[in-house]
Amino acid sequence: MSYKLHPLSGVDDDISSAVEWHESQQKGLGERFIDYWESTINYIISNPLAFSKKIKSFRQAVLKNFPYLIIYEIIGYKVFIYVVYKWKTTP
């Protein structure tokens, strides 16, 4: 059985804000952010247990080449994404 993605309310806003901010910094950077986001989400759905639990049953994945964390939880065959946030600032 395959896993299904269930982003919670607010996750789309987190992604939209990140894309807008990156695009304002450099043309095309927002699009690269989306590419890495989609790649990471596809990996999580294919391999949800690949990332270790950090607090209780919550797992975190780092977005490749961007300082963002994806916090998620597996319940049955559902992957709930709770938040996507910038976890460190870049110089």
Digit-coded pLDDT (tens) for 58-67:
999 999 899 9
Phi-psi region of 10 (alpha: psi -120 to 50; beta: other; left: phi over 0): left
Distance of alpha carbon 35 from alpha carbon 41, whole angstroms: 10
> Is domain 4-86 classified as CATH 3.40.50.800?
no
Rounded percentage of the chain residues whose pLDDT exceeds 90: 81
Distance of alpha carbon 40 from alpha carbon 36, whole angstroms: 6
Q: Does the pLDDT value for residue 90 go beyond 60?
A: no
- In one-letter notation, the amino acid at residue 73 is E
pLDDT tens-digit readout, 14-26: 999 999 999 999 9
Any idea which of 26-30, 59-63, 68-72, 83-87 has the lowest mean pLDDT? 83-87
The three-state secondary structure class of 40 is helix
List phi, psi (to 5°) of 85.
-145, 155
The alpha carbon of 46 is separated from its chain's Cα centroid by a whole number of angstroms, namely 14
Domain residue extents for the chain: 4-86
Q: What is the mean pLDDT of residues 29-34?
A: 96
